[in-house]
């Protein structure tokens, strides 16, 4: 028995639909992660402060100059963002 190209495409489409059923999107997965980490209730100011602390820690504990320089540059960019 031979099948046409459109019939084959339909079979593949149905198989994919069946396989994807019940899965969540990347956007939904990210929302779940944010909720789990408490990021969904964190203000922009709190997030920026946390980021500043992380960058400060990287600068202080980095064993190589490049990482320390990148953390310093990222802190500079954070200050620019805060200025608006």
Predicted TM-score (pTM) of the model is 0.55
30-71 residue pLDDT tens: 999 999 999 899 998 898 899 889 988 988 888 888 888 888
Question: What distance in Å separates the CA atoms of residue 40 and residue 46, rounded to the nearest whole number?
Answer: 12
Question: What distance in Å separates the CA atoms of residue 11 and residue 6, rounded to the nearest whole number?
Answer: 9
Question: What distance in Å separates the CA atoms of residue 47 and residue 80, rounded to the nearest whole number?
Answer: 15
């Amino acid at each position: 028995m031979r099948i046409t190209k459109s019939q084959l495409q339909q079979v593949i489409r149905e198989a994919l639909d069946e396989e994807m059923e019940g899965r969540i999107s990347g956007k939904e997965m990210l929302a779940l992660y944010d909720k789990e980490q408490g990021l969904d209730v964190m203000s922009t100011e709190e997030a920026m402060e946390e980021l500043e602390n992380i960058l400060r820690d990287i600068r202080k504990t980095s064993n190589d100059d490049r990482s320390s320089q990148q953390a310093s540059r990222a802190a500079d960019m954070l200050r620019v963002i805060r200025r608006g």
